[in-house]
Amino acid sequence: MFKSSEGPCGAVSEKMNTKPAAEHDLRTPVDAGSERTSNWTPPWVNVQIDGMAARAFVGNDGAWSDVLLIEFDEDAPEGMPVPFRTKYFHFPEPGRLCWGHDGAEHDVRLSLDHSRSC
Would you say residue 62 lies in a domain? yes
Residue 99 included in any domain = yes
64: number of Cβ within 10 Å: 7
Render pLDDT for 16-37 as a digit per residue (tens, 0 to 9): 699 999 999 998 766 545 566 6
CA 115 to CA 110: how far, in whole Å? Answer: 7
Q: Is pLDDT above 90 for 116?
A: no
The verdict on residue 45 lying in a domain is: yes
Burial (0-12, 13-18, 19+ Cβ within 10 Å), 5:
exposed
Percent share of the chain, pLDDT over 90: 56
Question: CA–CA distance from 4 to each of 19, 94, 107 (Å)?
Answer: 9, 15, 16
SS3 at position 114 = coil
Asked if residue 1 belongs to a domain, the reply is: no
What was the pLDDT predicted at 2?
A: 36
> Which has the higher per-residue pLDDT, 99 or 12?
99
Band (pLDDT 50/70/90 cuts) for residue 38 is low
For 44-88, how does the pLDDT look when each residue is reduced to its tens digit (9 = 90+)? 999 999 999 999 999 888 778 889 999 999 999 999 999 999 999
**Residue 107 domain-assigned?**
yes
Residue 4 lies in a domain: no
Instruction: Supply the range of the domain harboring residue 51.
Output: 21-29+41-118
Query: Is residue 72 assigned to a domain?
Result: yes
Q: What's the total number of domains in the chain?
A: 1
**Is residue 76 assigned to a domain?**
yes
